[in-house]
């Protein structure tokens, strides 16, 4: 079966527009082996579903509706990930829009703010789940006249992965950004969490008999959630988007649990839609010419990032407003500086 833009859309939940429909679509039921509600057990309270962060969506995706052209295989793979409740590993060179995919999905499907977990070489699994500030709690207890430690929940802070696994009514979108920068063990450490959809907080487990329910902080701004017995289990597995610049290989066991989408550099049509989404009609700037020059420069230096084009369009629009925009030698020097290579291998 071949999937293309002309494939009948009946099975699709995500259509790649990045804009919500009214009403929002219902998500497909997960396969039996990806269900995380325990049969016969009380479901417990749902976690609060935060409202979408419109300013963040507008900043990253733009405010103008345009004829966005999805990447090749984007619709098939995103919808497959939604149906199968599997993480989607998105590969491609820097600046091709891998991270933006998480925001497109969240805005189109009405899944609330994206939970972003940026990865570094020092990131551990616990960094994504929760942090416990034991020192801060002890210091605050010392300043109290009665010497009684303050409530532990004020010092437990769920991080993006930990927040995504709370029992939300609708799945959250989790962006694990640039996993290829991680320590060699992190992909394998994620396996159990991806398989089981749960984790425990030992600091809360130890006091569960005395204090069975603790309200903790979450990764959402001003957010909190009640944890029972020190144990967190998702109700709906989150929509997990993992980005990689292809700088390393991942273990087979990790890859088996993910679907893969490779994003090619954007075409002129895709770049045009991106510019329109951010700027609307740019009457004072020859956008088509800028896009053509951008693609030529990108090919010459081994690849540029899409936001480098947006920088040039914005600067051209500002200069045009003041009457100073001219495609002269000075402007060409500016373009060369803005469209600098992304690696030392690219020539200036």
Asked if residue 48 is part of any domain, the answer here is yes
> Which of 55, 14, 63, 6 lies closest to 274, judged by CA?
63
Q: Are 109 and 27 within 8 A, CB to CB?
A: yes
User: What SS3 class is residue 139?
Assistant: helix
Query: Same domain for 272 and 256?
Result: no
pTM of the full structure:
0.91
Q: Are strands 173-177 and 198-200 parallel, antiparallel or unpaired?
A: unpaired
Confidence at residue 205, expressed as pLDDT on a 0 to 100 scale: 96
3-state secondary structure of 115: strand
CA-angle at 164, arms to 278 and 56, nearest 5°: 20
Coil/strand/helix, residue 294: helix
Domain boundary among 262, 278, 298: 262
DSSP labels for 260-273?
EEEPPPPPHHHHHH
Sign of the Cα torsion 47, 52, 55, 59 reads: positive
Does the residue 126 lie in any domain? yes
Residue 240 domain flag? yes
Boundary (domain end) residue, out of 262, 282, 300: 262
Q: Specify whether 208 is located in the same domain as 137.
A: yes
CA distance 243 to 91: 6
Same domain flag for 322 and 180: no
Same structural domain, 177 and 319: no
- Whether residues 281 and 225 share a domain: the answer is no
Report if residue 4 sits inside a domain: no
How many CB atoms are closer than 10 A to CB 275?
A: 25
127 and 257 both lie in a single domain: yes
Distance of alpha carbon 283 from alpha carbon 275, whole angstroms: 12
Dist. CA 330–CA 66, nearest whole Å = 32
pLDDT value for 346: 53
Q: Give the number of domains in the chain.
A: 2
Same domain, 109 and 24: yes
Report the distance separating Cα 284 and Cα 281, nearest Å. Answer: 9
Q: Are residues 211 and 298 both part of a single domain?
A: no
The answer to whether 336 and 348 are in contact (CB under 8 A) is yes
Q: Residue 40: what pLDDT?
A: 42
Q: What range does the domain containing 39 cover?
A: 9-262
* E strands present in the chain: 88-91, 115-118, 130-132, 156-158, 173-177, 198-200, 213-217, 224-228, 231-233, 239-244, 259-262
Write out the chain's pLDDT in tens, 348 residues.
555 555 555 789 999 999 998 899 999 999 999 998 765 444 567 888 888 888 999 999 999 887 889 999 999 999 999 999 999 999 999 999 999 999 999 999 999 999 999 999 999 999 999 999 999 998 888 777 776 778 999 999 999 999 999 999 899 999 999 999 999 999 999 999 999 999 999 999 999 999 999 999 999 999 999 999 999 999 999 999 999 998 889 999 999 999 999 999 999 999 999 999 998 877 778 899 999 999 999 999 989 999 999 999 999 888 877 766 566 788 888 899 999 988 765 554
* Domain identity same for 163 and 308: no
Q: Please choose, from the candidates 260, 96, 90, the residue with its C-alpha nearest in 3D space to the C-alpha of residue 176.
A: 90
The domain spanning residue 87 has which CATH number? Answer: 3.40.50.300
Co-location of 152 and 192 in the same domain: yes
């Amino acid at each position: 079966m071949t999937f293309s833009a002309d494939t009948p859309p009946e099975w699709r939940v995500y259509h790649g527009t990045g804009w919500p429909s009214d009403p929002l679509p219902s998500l497909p039921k997960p396969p039996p082996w990806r269900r995380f509600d325990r049969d016969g057990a009380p479901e417990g309270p749902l976690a609060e579903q935060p409202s979408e962060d419109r300013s963040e969506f507008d900043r990253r995706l733009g405010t103008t509706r345009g004829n966005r052209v999805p990447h090749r295989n984007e619709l098939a793979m995103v919808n497959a990930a939604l149906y199968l409740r599997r993480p989607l590993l998105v590969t491609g060179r820097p600046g091709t829009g891998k991270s933006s995919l998480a925001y497109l999905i969240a805005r189109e499907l009405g899944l609330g703010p994206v939970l972003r977990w940026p990865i570094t070489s020092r990131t551990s699994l616990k960094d994504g789940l929760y942090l416990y500030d034991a020192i801060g709690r002890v210091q605050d207890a010392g300043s109290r006249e009665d010497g009684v430690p303050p409530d532990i929940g004020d010092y437990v802070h769920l991080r993006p992965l930990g927040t995504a696994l709370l029992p939300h009514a609708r799945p959250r979108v989790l962006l694990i950004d640039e996993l290829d920068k991680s320590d060699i063990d992190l992909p394998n450490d994620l396996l159990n969490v991806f398989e089981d959809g749960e984790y425990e907080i030992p600091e809360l487990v130890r006091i569960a008999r005395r204090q069975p329910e603790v309200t903790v902080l979450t990764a959402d701004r001003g957010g909190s959630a009640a944890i029972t017995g020190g144990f967190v289990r998702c109700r709906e597995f989150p929509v997990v988007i993992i980005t990689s610049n292809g700088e390393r290989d991942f273990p087979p066991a990790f890859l088996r649990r993910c679907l893969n989408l490779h994003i090619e550099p954007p075409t002129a049509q895709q770049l045009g839609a991106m510019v329109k989404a951010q700027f609307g009609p740019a009457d004072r700037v020859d956008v088509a010419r800028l896009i053509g020059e951008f693609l030529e420069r990108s090919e010459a230096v081994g690849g540029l990032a899409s936001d480098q084009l947006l920088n040039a369009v914005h600067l051209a629009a500002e200069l045009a407003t003041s009457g100073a925009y001219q495609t002269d030698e000075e402007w060409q020097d500016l373009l060369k500086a803005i469209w600098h290579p992304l690696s030392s291998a690219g020539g200036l």
